[in-house]
Structure 1
Amino acid sequence: MPALPASPLPDPPHCVGVRTLCEFVRTGDIDLRFAMSPSAQQGLAGHATVAARRSAGYEREVFLQGEHAGVRVRGRADGYDAPANALEEIKTHRGDLARMPSSQRAVHWAQARIYGWLLCQARGLARIELRLVYFDLGSETETVLSESHDAQALRAGFEQACAAYADWARAEAGHRRRRDAGLAQLRFPHAQFRGEQRRMAIAAFRTARDGGCLSIEAPTGTGKTLGTLFPVLRAMPEAGLDKVFYLTARTTGRALALDALAALAGPVAAPMVRVVELVARSKACVHPGAACTGEQCPRARGFYDRLPAARIEAAQAGWLDKAASERIAARHAVCPYFLAQAMVPWADVVIGDYHHAFDPAAWLAPLAAAEGWRCAVLVDEAHNLVERVRDMHSAHLARASLTAARRAHPALGATWRGLARAWGNLAREATGTYRVLDELPERFVDAHRRAASALAEHLARSDAAADPALLDYYFELLHFLRLAERYGTHSIVELGAPNGARALRITLRNLVPAPFLAPRWAALHCCLLFSGTFGPAHYYADMLGLPAQARRLELASPFRAEQLQVRVPHRLSTRYGDRAASVPPIVGAIARQFADRPGNYLAFFSSYAYLDQVCTQFTLAHPEIPCWRQPPSLDEAGRDAFLARYTPEGQGIGFAVLGGAFGEGIDLPGTRLVGAFIATLGLPQVNPSNEALRARLHTAFGDGYAYAYLYPGLRKVIQAAGRVIRTPADAGVIHLLDERYRQPGVRALLPDWWPTPLSSD
């Protein structure tokens, strides 16, 4: 095993949380069978239920800390019953405790014993009783395991754990000093800032240093990734930041962040900051199809036994993007997905997806809170956050999914029969193809809670853990139940049966993400949210639950009005009822523009059906002009092939759907793209579901039409139009193919730097 670089311990001692210390010395396999259960929110609710059952003198969340060998250990014990002199460590679960892996139980006891010593030390106790309280969320029953310990024996165990951690603590303290010294001298990697990038960097630095929330609307070309990462890294020593989380909506965003970090502080032999990239388990898995257990996956078997050596190599490498995680994991025969997760406590910058921080089942935010980390969060392309968090906090159950799971695994007869009765009762409330229920159907939810407990116990058996149909149904069920526990005015219950009772479907649909996001912002030292289309300001503040004292920065575009022509017709409607009549004038507008300036264009439409109508007519009328279209299903290879047509010398029209893969996140500078046609306002379809959204948003904020339709639609339009001008040297044209773009209320929402629209008639 390679040696850790030695360095003297700092003053004050290196701090570590009780949980992290116990996980550090853990041994054994990865075994997720028993971990398929509570979210952080459910865990908190379970702890509250247990505490409420205790006597009046019961102490909750007891803060404790102690030191040994230059290591300061701190944390909050779940509860202390002073009259009984009993410290409790509470764990929530579902299913049979006998199925819990021994390594997981050992970690729980290790935490209880460390808390036991810290309490004995703090209150001068000679002995103490330790209790592991396992609370079953399904049955709401407690299983209590207890041990009685002499304080000195607990002290010996505490000192042994600290001694095992001490060398790592020394190395970590040395890394932190070197990191802060280097970042205090960090310089911008280019000769000068780009346009208003300096103004953005100053505002970001002050927010990172002083704390708070800053939203930034910075047009394409400002250099948002580097303009935010550089000042936040520069502020880390002064602000005492432990970690920076850079969150993106797509893989391309992670790549840009890694490139910016490489330019600033690595990757080199000894990078200034440790970087960890988190990816989806499906993209990191070495043995797809195998369950995450020692019995089925060789990378899970003995993972924690081999982790220490892999952890040392990863820490010394310092740069743990997806490729590096895979290389190091392969050398030590460990899982790359869980190796990256295990390195998060020792990273300075963590790059991941939105769901790593904002999903209701996410582990990153609860871990940061438990460890007391001082964090900065950077949210890239933050206009996507509204829909993404809505999706994360929405869930559905379909009667057809129950039928499929029942056929795949009929052994759970009683469970399936109970759920079938629940669906039958719900079907009586389904009137027509769509209905918004006045309240959550509690009897239906209760039946599924009971089923979740039975399924959890069943899935703990290795012979059931690899059943895809059963697993998929179980995970859908857990997600639904998590959100049912947090149901409120921010969401609605939708019941639909478009093809009869057999197709019955219930959806918990989140409409306002703010109640879920506001606590996350409050827990951070600072957060920066930035996008090229991040307005109107009040819309995003309301929908994202930004703090009342949040600051906002709007930057001028680096582009000039003379770089762009904007054309709007006087007489053309793309409303749903007018689309058939709109096809010939749209075909004519595209043809005239191509004749005037041959080159590469993108044409955006509100649906695939509309796209096909126009593309088919255009191809028949102008077979000499190359055309290609976005298909309804598009994989990564198809996306690359579509974009490969956009060469500097190319000519032709690419037909795409607004809001799809080519509406944002692609970069086609110069003559690779010289214009765009946008044959829609991007407004969501008017249907009962969106009308329910409009009504709820109108009640909450007023102007429900703008919140539900106009603002989201025009955001997609501006993003798509933003593909045309990418650099100060570009020139191009945008055709906004609908007469409504001439309305003052619509024009006011378009970018300020755009020129006055010309007539395209």
Structure 2
Amino acid sequence: MSAHDEPLSYHVAVRSLCEFTARTGDLDHRFTPSPTAREGIAGHALVAERRGDDYQSEVPLSGEYGPLSVGGRADGYDPATNCLEEVKTYRGSLERMGGNQRALHWAQVKVYGALLCRERELSEVTLALVYLDIATGRETRLTEQVTAEELQAFFIEQCQRFLAWAEQEASHRQQRDSALRELRFPHPEFRYGQRPLAEAVYKAASTGRHLMVQAPTGIGKTLGTLFPMLTAMPRQQLDRGFFLTMKTPGRRLALEALTTLGVAREGEKGALPLRVLELLARDKACEHPDKACHGEACPLASGFYDRLPMARQAAVDRGGLLDRMALREVALEHDICPYYLGQELARWCDLVVGDVNHYFDVSAMLFALTQANAWRVAVLVDEAHDLVERARGMYSASLDQQRTNTLHRQAPPALGKPLGRVARRWRELLGDVDPGESGSRKSPAYRVLDEPPRRMLNALQQASSAITDYLGEHPTGELAELQAFLFEALHLCRLAERFGEHSLFDVARHGRGRAVLTLRNVIPADFLAPRLAASQATVLFSATLSPAHYYRDLLGLPVDAPWIEVDSPFASHQLDVRTQRAISTRFRHRETSVGPIVATLAEQYRRTPGNYLAFFSSFAYLEAVLGRFRAEYSDIVAWAQTRGMREDERQAFIDAFVPGGRGIGFAVLGGAFAEGIDLPGERLIGAFIATLGMPPFNAVNEQLKARMQARFGRGYDYTYHYPGLTKVVQAAGRVIRGPEDRGVVVLMDDRFTRSEVKALLPSWWCLEEHEGEKASTATSTSRE
């Protein structure tokens, strides 16, 4: 719904209207997964092709009931037979579709029928639900002859059910916009750099442009971006705002900033009538992780849609900050699922705080809602330097041979044949079986495929259909592995439909029966650009967001998208940055570098005792230096990051950095402790960085480099140089967190003295070169 046209005029899409008024019964996701949007479009086109020449597709229809305007596009109308069709694509067995889902579909086609009869002055019409099996192309057609009078009565009933809510929402919108017009900055003055940041964000929202901002830690970027976005909402008629983060701490900071701006917590009456939703992943919000999401298994899914209206009303009446605890409290008061209540409230909240995947992922809900409701949205992306790798992960998929074979052996008899077909395709793919030729051949340990493996993808589609049917018929039992395989297989197949130069297919062998097939996205821009285009303005901000052309190219930003750098509030005298040019951390020099690194750690610690972080390129490198350090300097306290740390172990590592403490924490660059943690004052007085942070020179990264070179002409920089230096600057940024902090950063590699490397380090740093103890004679190569 959008209420920014006229004070007393409300608009709602037909689908949104029916989802609000016509959904009843249980929450049930057994009739899933549904076809992708692309599959749905192809299915609708197929149905239209089968109809006559006079058949009309995507018929725009609209009508009014009092102040309520209802509109949308009907899938198809055949004037020759006077038949209006609603087409639904599906996979699996149609008999498993719930009655409440079918009722929703009938409601939609009836509303369209009412609008059609009114617009074309028809006395009656044939309504048809057309269910198209996406796998076989078979249609199941349900029809009903209905008079215009009956349809008009149904239309009025739906509008009356929705009208009170629409009036409430429009009133809320007026109150919200009025309050935001008067919103004032919550502190007497801006921090250094915060005002130009806020002005740039406001200008971007006002002019409908995307913006990249490189702003140092410590100026209050979260408040400095949220405040101008909120003030721009009424002036630019923005319907929604999304604050997207990479990690949980970013969400917490955003929620804290919003309470500072006046958003109420815990149901208290606040000065700002703003609904803020914290959107969580399912595993974080689920009350019964051991139960399936349907009414027969989970008590919070049983009767979900019958109790949803009261829970939804209670949530919006409460308003303010609907964070994890508030959402859970409202949901459990009404005996419904907190996760799916949150999914519903995303439609009705002014600002959503959540992970970047909620807008940028393949099936991102916030992006889908934005398109379906034609919202005008502003998007803020925190720690945006991480979006390149996060997006690559979103648009990549893999299939594990060992897992497939294990599932085949353990699967029920009904699935033996389709899973066996997948196993055979594995052998073909790897060359263990060569169809059409005698004998066998072996493929190399790693290779890139010239084209998508069509036979494997077809086998996966067939197996997915079989598993979907089986899960529908067997809703209980040990099915977790089957479900996991199903979603992984479908994800791979769906991404394969959009295969292009932005991605590659590769196969890696890790031993007999242990290969992995990967569809690897290397250039996320092609997927992200449509999501950026759907927003009125997107602001991507981070302490490390340079060079600008790298992020424009890989994130799909327009070539004219502005990039600004906010001056740092820190002075060079606060941070002593030293380079050890006699140390090389190149792989071939690792062994000889251990001694000089250990000596450098001890020397700095003796000079200025306190808490330090030491970063290394890998756990193996970390462990080699740590072992030597403990052997030679056992009197200096040292603790280390380990592989696969649990959440409580990570917290214990951070808690070791106490004010006034003394010791060195060893960590991996790019890991959990290299960014996103805050250790102000004496909790951390220095950092050692024994690496340029570059990804390893392996077959995968060399393929990525080739793709980058072909597309952008900057293969080495885009694959190795820029990502590595971004990690270095992020890690060094742990040291100075506020205007009173003082500290030291020791960069241990001779390459830090090169001009092209220095150019990517913060401008306020003042590098001081130290010879140190000679470690090795470093020679430059084209791969350094």
Q: Matches of 2:89 and 2:220 in 1, distance apart?
A: 45
Cα drift, residue 77 of structure 1: 2.0
Deviates more, 1:601-610 or 1:40-49: 40-49
- Aligned with residue 509 of structure 1, among 512, 520, 523: 520
Q: 1:460 matched to which residue of 2?
A: 472
Q: Quote the Cα distance in structure 2 between the aligned partners of 1:40 and 1:754.
A: 49
The aligned residue for residue 775 of structure 2 is: none
Distance 2:670 2:206 in 1: 36
Change (3 A) 1:264 1:465: farther
Write the mapping of 1:525-544 to structure 2, written as runs, cut at 5 A.
Answer: 525-544=536-555
Of the structure 1 ranges 746-755 and 208-217, higher mean CA displacement relative to structure 2 is found in 208-217
2:299 counterpart of 1:288? no
The corresponding residue for 1:103 is: 100
How many residues align structurally?
Answer: 753
Q: Which residue in the other structure is 2:13 paired with? A: 17
Aligned to 1:242: 239
Q: Is the 8 A contact 2:7 2:170 kept in 1?
A: no
Contact 2:32–2:468 (8 Å) recurs in 1:
no
Q: 2:169 aligns with which of 167, 172, 191?
A: 172
Q: Indicate which of 124, 136, 161 corresponds to 2:158.
A: 161
**Letter of the 1:483 counterpart:** L
Aligned residue for 1:757, secondary structure, equals strand
The whole-number CA distance in structure 2 between the counterparts of 1:757 and 1:47 is: 65
Aligned pair partner of 2:729 in 718, 733, 736: 718
Would you say 1:572 and 2:583 are equivalent positions? yes
Pairing of 1:62-77 with structure 2 (within 5 A): 62-77=59-74
Q: Does residue 392 of the first structure (1) align with residue 394 of the second (2)?
A: yes
1:353 counterpart letter in structure 2: D
Q: C-alpha deviations, 1:61-83, integer Å up to 9, x for none?
A: 33322221432222222233333
Match of 1:748 among 759, 762, 765: 759
Q: Is the 8 A contact 1:37 1:456 kept in 2?
A: no
Aligned counterparts of 1:606 and 1:116: Cα–Cα separation in 2: 64
Structure 1 residue 92 displacement after superposition: 1.8
> What are the equivalent positions in structure 2 for 1:330-341 lying under 5 Å apart?
330-341=332-343
Match of 1:28 in 2: 25
In structure 2, how many angstroms separate the alpha carbons of the residues matched to 1:119 and 1:759?
80
RMSD: 1.6
Tell me by how many angstroms 1:383 deviates.
0.7
Taking only the aligned residue pairs, the percentage that are identical comes to 50
Among 619, 625, 633, which residue is 1:622 paired with? 633
Q: What's the counterpart of residue 221 of structure 2?
A: 224
The code of the aligned residue for 1:291 comes to A
Please give the alpha-carbon distance, in whole angstroms, between the structure 2 residues aligned to 1:615 and 1:11: 67
1:41 aligned to 2:41? no
| Corresponding residue number in structure 2 for 1:302 | 303
The match for 2:781 is none
SS in 1 for 2:564: strand
Alpha-carbon distance in structure 2 between the residues aligned to 1:314 and 1:21: 19
What is the aligned partner in structure 1 of residue 491 from structure 2? 479
Give the aligned residue type for 1:264.
Answer: L
Q: Quickly say closer, same or farther: Cα 1:207–1:123, change in 2 above 3 A.
A: farther
Counterpart Cα distance in 2 of 1:233 and 1:737: 44
Q: Deviations over 1:162-206 (max 9, x none)?
A: 101111112111111100100010011111111121111112112
Aligned residue in 1 for 2:109: 112
Of 504, 524, 540, the residue aligned with 1:492 is 504
Q: Secondary structure at the match of 1:134?
A: strand
The residue aligned with 1:415 is: 418
* In structure 1, distance between residues paired with 2:382 and 2:76: 39
Counterpart contact for 2:13–2:71, Cα < 8 Å: yes
Contact 1:344–1:350 (8 Å) recurs in 2: yes
Deviation of the 1:283 alpha carbon:
0.9
Report Cα offsets for 1:215-265 as digits up to 9, x if no partner.
111111121111111111101111111110111111111111111111113
CA distance in 1, matches of 2:366, 2:258: 21
Following the alignment from structure 2 to structure 1, what is the Cα–Cα distance between the partners of residues 14 and 477?
Answer: 31
Shift of 1:142: 2.3
What is the match of residue 450 of structure 1? 462
* CA positional deviation for 1:148: 2.1
CA distance in 2, matches of 1:201, 1:76: 40
Contact 2:213–2:541 under 8 Å retained in 1: yes
For structure 2, list consecutive stretches of 5 or more residues without a partner in the other structure. Answer: 435-441, 773-784
Which secondary structure state, in structure 1, belongs to the residue aligned with residue 473 of structure 2? coil
2:147 matches 1:150: yes
C-alpha distance 114-760 of structure 1, shift in aligned 2 (>3 A): farther
Contact 1:379/1:528, CA 8 A, preserved across alignment: yes
Residues in 2 aligned to 1:140 and 1:718: alpha-carbon distance in whole angstroms:
54
**Are residues 1:661 and 2:672 paired?**
yes
1:424 matched residue in structure 2: 427
Q: Secondary structure at the match of 1:212?
A: coil
Match of 2:692 among 661, 666, 681: 681
Partner of 1:3: none
Q: How does the TM-score come out when normalised to structure 1?
A: 0.97
Query: Match of 1:265, SS?
Result: coil
Quote the Cα distance in structure 2 between the aligned partners of 1:55 and 1:355: 42
Question: Residue 587 of structure 1 aligns to which amino acid in structure 2?
Answer: V
Deviations 1:357-399 (A, max 9, x none): 1111223212221111111111111111110110011001112
Give the letter aligned to residue 269 of structure 2. A
The CA distance in 1 between the partners of 2:155 and 2:486, in whole Å, is: 39
How far is 1:424 from its partner?
2.2
- 1:691 matched to which residue of 2? 702
- Quick one: distance in 1 between partners of 2:425 and 2:349? 47
- 3-state SS, counterpart of residue 262 of structure 1: helix
Residue 482 of structure 2 aligns with an amino acid whose one-letter code is L
Equivalent-residue separation in structure 1 for 2:771 and 2:336 (angstroms): 61
Q: Aligned to 2:261, what secondary structure does the other structure show? A: helix
Instruction: Tell me the CA shift for residue 760 of structure 1.
Output: 5.2
Q: Is the 8 A contact 1:492 1:510 kept in 2?
A: yes
Deviates further, 104-113 or 604-613: 104-113
Instruction: Tell me what 2:317 maps to.
Output: 316
Q: Deviations over 1:444-477 (max 9, x none)?
A: 1112112211111111124357511111111111
Deviation per residue, 1:617-666 (Å, 9 max, x gap): 11111111110000111121111101111111101000000000000001
SS state at 1:387 partner: helix
Cα pair distance change 1:670/1:492, threshold 3 Å? same
